[in-house]
Amino acid sequence: MCIRDRIIGELGERYEIADWIANWQLSVWQDRIQLVRLRRDIYVTPDESTHGMWSSRWLFVLAAAGSAVGLGNIWKFPYIAGENGGGVFVVAYLFCVALVGIPVMVAEVLIGRQGRQSPINSMRLLVQQSEGSKAWSLIGWAGVAAGFLILSFYSVIAGWGLYYIGELASGGFTGVDGNTATQALAALHSNPILMAVFHTVFMGITIFIVARGVVSGLERAIRWLMPLLFVLLIVLLGYGIASGGFAEGFDFMFALRWESLSFDGLLVALGHAAFTLSIGMGAIMAYGAYVPSSVSITRTVMTIAMLDTLVALIAGLAIFSIVFANGLEPGSGPGLMFVTVPLAFGQMPLGALFGGIFFILVSFAAITSAISLTEPAIAFLVEEYDASRSRVAVGLGIACWLLGLASVFSFNIWSDVYVVGEKTVFDSIDYLTANIMLPLGALFIALFAGYVLPRVTVMSQLGITSESAMAIWTVALRVVAPLGILAVFLYTIWPSG
């Protein structure tokens, strides 16, 4: 081999080595860049939460439905449907659920399952992964605070339901008139000791359940309470049909009265659709952390929404069939549940028995909602302080019970103590949570999911494989849901007229 060929060969080898080294370095940097992107965009979700997991998809459906199916389904939805166009309102409501309620609930479950922790720590983690502003973490804190505040006065109202089980079942309302039924509720309100006792009993039941954990406590209670709730609901519907007022009740709720549906009525439908699914208070996010990875979030949330609506409709038919059978005027809120309904049962055959069953149903609905309100705070405190769940549950329960006493006293010894304007402690907490904290919580969850969560995270959690489906998600969470929630918020804060 000549010197020229040897030199060319050596140079070629050197260039090959240099080219290999350059390609290797480029590959290393590309891997590093890809790793950074993966760390930013994808968090490998643990298979299980440290708190436990739902044993099946249907247990999560029942748990989330239990959270959503509360007193509002029984004392509010049937009446607002009848007063705002009947069947027209129901159609508008379902449309609003599809546009606002379901997307935001999907976002909450998604965040919970991605983080596998309490709402506070899940938001912290996802904000860090998304490289977003730390201010987004306040969503988790706001949800925990809202759940705690709501439970403090919700326990008081639920305590009335426990009290009325005994009153109805013992025949205390048999043959009473409207004035007597009204005075019975007023007598309860004026007795702080009696109200405090039933507030204590309800809070004790709630804490006993949640202290036992996700599987032994929440899941076991839901496995029994929710099926029993549905059975009692069907029993009451059958009793309502037999009462003779079913046709009038059906007409009140489902007749198409276009002239009765105003713009304000549409906003009422939108408002109830936005918050009937328990969004904005951290409960669904906490429950989402326990959802198995194999479960379809979208299909499951749609099932929950349909179940929640079905319960509200059946409850309305059962209640108003009984109300109209006795020639009474329909109403809503505590007046419907604790005056009109007991009065109706008191005038009917076997009214004591079925009246007792009705308030057992009310109590079951309240308990399943209450246990979901405690879960965000309990999960966070267990994570933060590595404390036993039972100890945390008892401590949280005592704190919530003490705050609840302020709501108890708002009806009697503190009835002239006003916190905001002419609102008592009870009214102020109710207004703050229902009209400010929940709407803003739901609004910022939608914005975070729509603008901050990485596309890869959303597509992975929801199983999205097409750009068209991703576009629907983006529009729903960035535009439609925020505008709907904002409209309800502004209407609530500054009502027309």
pLDDT digits (tens, 9 = 90+) for 31-49: 443 443 444 444 455 667 8
Cα dihedral sign for 81, 430, 370, 107?
A: positive
Structure confidence at residue 269 (pLDDT): 84
The confidence band for 2, taking pLDDT boundaries of 50, 70 and 90, is low
306, 294 contact by CB (below 8 A): no
Q: Whole-angstrom Cα distance, residue 310 to residue 304?
A: 10
Q: Please, are residues 143 and 374 in contact by the beta-carbon 8 Å criterion?
A: no
Q: What percent of the chain has pLDDT over 90?
A: 48
Q: Write out pLDDT tens, residues 121-136.
A: 999 999 999 998 999 9
In three-state secondary structure terms, 420 is: strand
Which one, of 122, 100, 102, lies nearest residue 111 by Cα?
A: 122
DSSP for 210-247, please give it: HHT-IIIIIIHHHHHHHHHHHHHHHHHHHHHHHHT-HH
Q: Please report, in angstroms and rounded to a whole number, the separation of the first and last CA atoms in the chain.
A: 102
The string of DSSP letters for 66-89 reads: HHHSSHHHHHTHHHHHHHTTBHHH
In this prediction, residues 399-420 reach a mean pLDDT of 94
Contacts of 238 (CB under 8 A, 6+ apart): none
Measured on CA atoms in the order 31, 32, 37, 38, is the torsion positive or negative? positive
Q: What is the pLDDT of residue 6?
A: 54
148-207 pLDDT per residue, tens: 999 999 999 999 999 999 999 998 898 888 888 889 999 999 999 999 999 999 999 999
> Closest by alpha carbon to 403, among 140, 202, 151?
151
Does the pLDDT at position 11 exceed 50?
no
Which of 319-323, 434-438, 455-459 tops mean pLDDT? 455-459
Is the distance from CB of 199 to CB of 405 less than 8 angstroms?
Answer: yes
Q: Report the half-sphere exposure of 15 (CA within 13 A, side-chain side).
A: 6
Distance of CA 300 to the CA centre of its chain: 14
Minimum mean pLDDT range among 72-76, 206-210, 443-447: 72-76
Q: Nearest to residue 357, comparing CAs of 165, 136, 188?
A: 165
Q: Tokens for 116?
A: 């596998």
Taking the C-alpha atoms of residue 167 and residue 101, their distance in angstroms, rounded to an integer, is: 37
- Judged by DSSP in three states, 439 sits in helix
- Mean pLDDT (whole number) for 238-264: 85
Q: Is the pLDDT of residue 88 over 60?
A: yes
Residue with tokens 């304000």: 264
Rounded to two decimals, the pTM is 0.86
Single out the residue of 350, 349, 343 nearest to residue 324, CA to CA.
Answer: 343
Q: How many residues does the chain have?
A: 497
